[in-house]
Structure 1
Amino acid sequence: MYSLTSKQQQQGWRVEDKRNDTERWMQHRQLPPELQTCIRRYDDYKWAATQGVDEQALLSAFPLGLRRDIKRHLCLDLVRRVPLFDQMDERMLEAICERLRPVLYTRGTYLIRELDPVEEMSFIIRGHLDSCTTGGGRTGFLNTCRLDPGDFCGEELLSWALESRSSAANLPSSTRTVRAVTEVEAFALGIHDLHFVAAQFRMLHSKRLRQKFRFHSHQWRTWAACFIQAAWRRHHQNRMVAVLPVVGSSGARMLQKKMEKQDLSSEED
């Protein structure tokens, strides 16, 4: 009993020392108050999730076989919850689990911003994120959606990894801005890990898996919606051209206003 209490006290002292070091560092660097608040919130969330243990450092000290068994125990059931992976064979899932890195995000944290290079693919285990795009100024298409447990972001990196000429010098740009709206727990696959998995397992290149990937990808859904809206606008323009000789200029202006209202209502839907 005494030994347990002593260990708890020592652990509490280490946590307090670390927090004091962080506070002194923030004061020394003169970080703005809002940024200090974000750092404290992240430290508190990380402590609640890991009890102050650096899991990556702890795992790296174990032999490879034992490390694989631990990662399989920790990650396999969670990975199976991701619809993209639920039909993959055991060997492929174990390879993915071995390379997954646990990550935590506090409320308000940006995982990635639109047009920034994508350096990892994240799979949401707990929490919720907002994902939005403006089309990067290219299409003027605005889309916002919610990412929930089982969803993923950074899917541009998977498409990049499946290309034969992909390299770290030509990373894809993000088509979306993703921001945590609650505390989020996720697993991440980095550039080299995703490239390795894609190279080792040809199943990732199958047409069936690519179709499933596109079905669950919010990026591909956005593109599909964008193309549908573009086709709808072309349809309206063709109608205008067809009726203009019949109704005249004044009638065409009235018809154009009516079509613009229909376009706005369809975009809101």
Structure 2
Amino acid sequence: MESLTPENHRRFHWSGWRNLLLPQLNRRSLHVYGSEVAVEKECIRQKQEGVFVIHPFSSLRSYYIMCMVAITFLNLIGIPMEIAFLDGNSGVGWEGFNVFSDTLFLIDVGLNFRMGIITEDSEGAILDLKSIRQHYLKSWFVPDMVAAFPVGYILLFAGLQYRGDSPSSRANKMMRILMFVRILSLVRLLRVSRLVRFFNEVEKVSNANLEVMRLFLRILSLFMMIFLLCHWNGCIQYFVPMLEEFPSDCWVRREKLMNATVGEKYSFGVFRALSHMTAISYGSSDTPTNDVELWIVMTSIVSGAIMYTVMVANTAALMTDVDITAKAYKNKMNHLEDYMTFMKLPKALRMRINSYYQSRYAGKWYDEKDVLKWVSSSLREEILINMCSDLVRKVPIFQKRDINFISSILQELQYEVYQDGDFIICEDAPGDRMFFIERGQVLEKNQFFQRELCDGDYFGESCLLTKEKHLATVHAQTTCQLFSLSVGHFQRILKDYPEIKRDLESSQQDKDLLL
């Protein structure tokens, strides 16, 4: 019987449903980590943490975000309706939904202390509990706690408390509680901030094209915010006269809506709100009859002006695309599409070319050589050391070498991207360069052997000294981000370091004698 070693215990601990906490393969995780192998390493890293933390790219996180978007939106629609129109007669179904929502939002506050985060300045997910806690407490904890105030529980307990009272006494007590709770319920509208945050999270967990999803969510969130603004305004139109117990000159009495259904009241309220917001005034031709109604109209007009401003600003941003690098990328892709159409390239090849550019530039057009020319030589060297130093030092012939020699090697590296199925090296082809794998997975094989290489590995190094043909074929199994070093550049560098050159040639001769 196999003993329960720490490693076996870890495997047992992470079996079953706990695997839902681990990152999954999707476009976003591959975009952040670069390859399937890197995502698997991230899974191992999370398992080694040994704590209950939900990874930002996990399946559980994806389903949870989708659920919270729906629940939050329903809350932002239903809460104003309940406050303004239901008048305490919401029914068992709505009371149950309120309790369920309040419970879910309280649980959400707790889960945020166990939710891994992705920040702009981090290379991967932050899974440390202390860092997660500090980040949440400094950001959204207080607004979330206020928005999660359990109003539904107050109504439920009040109803149970006064269940034994006489109908008239119970009604009076419940009316006082309801008036207080109606005002208190307004704090739950702060959940609109969560809706915006959840929309941002949807982009991170989505398996769709990143640029398309980003554009779709911007448009969808814009329309949802406009809808909520009109919806809230319509509810306010009825809510304020109700607080005043419907004065004789209020619009509700003028329209004879005192005994109307909730649908009719809501329809008239939204109609008045839209007429004010669009400045048409078709539905509010009568002059406001009191100060309160006057302020409601002015508020509607101002909110309408804000709505127009937001629509125009977002439409202009979508049309012009203020991101210069993204705009340049789109221009390049338009030229590329025109070229492919003119040359009548087959559809499959067009798709591979488009996929290459998406993998190579990720929707942002830039030139690495120009970027490196814009900084000082010391900064350029530091950038290259951070990007490639670990990759280069893994090769035996570069280990324990002079730092200046390594820096010279780094400055000659060329960044390349290969897609799944591309041949990087062909057997018996002239050996003109070697490769370092930053991200991705390749298969190296010939008639005698085959092996898989992934992040941090290298291949083709034998040609640097011998200038012989490649001994194996190498093709990409995933989208691969590589750095290459040409034989010509390497030989030119060796001329400046004669001692290293003699050492490498001596080592190669000894190896040839052994063979």
**CA-based RMSD:** 3.2
Does 2:22 align with 1:22?
no
Count of equivalent residues: 195
Preserved contact between residue 321 and residue 327 of structure 2 (Cα < 8 Å) = no
Structure 2 residue aligned with 1:13: 327
Q: Which residue of 373, 392, 411 maps to 1:98?
A: 411
In 2, the alpha carbon distance for the partners of 1:208 and 1:9 equals 51
Name the structure with the higher strand share. 1
Matched, 1:110 2:110: no
Classify 1:65/1:182 alpha carbon distance in 2 versus 1 (closer, same or farther; 3 Å). same
Shift in Å, 1:191: 2.8
Is 1:192 the equivalent of 2:488? yes
**1:8–1:18 Cα change, 3 Å:** same
How much identity, in percent, do the aligned residues show? 26
- CA spacing shift, 1:46–1:80, aligned 2, 3 Å: same
TM-score (norm 1): 0.61
Normalization by structure 2: what TM-score? Answer: 0.34
- Paired with 2:379 and 2:480, the residues of 1 have a C-alpha distance of 28
Q: CA deviation at 1:207?
A: 6.4
- Partner AA of 1:200 in structure 2: D
**Structure 2 equivalent of residue 172 of structure 1:** 468
Map of 2:460 onto structure 1: 154
Select which of 350, 355, 360 maps to 1:41: 355
Larger relative contact order, structure 1 or 2 (CA cutoff 8 Å, min sep 6): 1
The answer to whether structure 1 residue 203 and structure 2 residue 500 are counterparts is yes
2:392 and 2:331 map into 1 onto residues whose CA distance is 36
Q: Which amino acid aligns with 1:180?
A: A
The one-letter code matched in structure 1 to 2:365 is G
Helix, strand or coil at the partner of 1:42: helix
Q: 1:83/1:186 Cα in 2 relative to 1: closer, same or farther (>3 Å)?
A: farther
Three-state SS of the structure 2 residue aligned to 1:53 is coil
For 2:326 and 2:482, locate their aligned partners in 1 and report how far apart those are by CA, in whole Å.
Answer: 27
Task: Identify the range of structure 1 (179-188 vs 196-205) with the bigger mean alpha-carbon deviation.
Answer: 196-205
Q: Is the 8 A contact 1:115 1:175 kept in 2?
A: yes
For 1:210 and 1:45, the matched residues in 2 are separated by 39
2:368, 2:479 → 1: CA distance? 19
- Residue in 1 aligned with 2:371? 58
Gaps of 5+ in 1: 135-141, 161-170, 215-219, 228-269
Query: For 1:206, what is the secondary structure of its paired residue?
Result: helix
C-alpha distance in structure 2 between counterparts of 1:109 and 1:63, whole Å: 36
Quick check: which has more Rg, 1 or 2? 2
Query: What is the match of residue 449 of structure 2?
Result: 143
Given that 2:441 and 2:455 are in contact with CA atoms closer than 8 Å, whether structure 1 keeps it comes out as yes
Following superposition, the deviation at residue 204 of structure 1 comes to 4.7
Superposed CA deviations along residues 47-92 of structure 1, whole A, max 9, x for unmatched, are 22x8321102332455655544443343324433445534223122
**1:39/1:181 Cα in 2 relative to 1: closer, same or farther (>3 Å)?**
same
Structure 1: how far apart are the matches of 2:404 and 2:323? Answer: 43
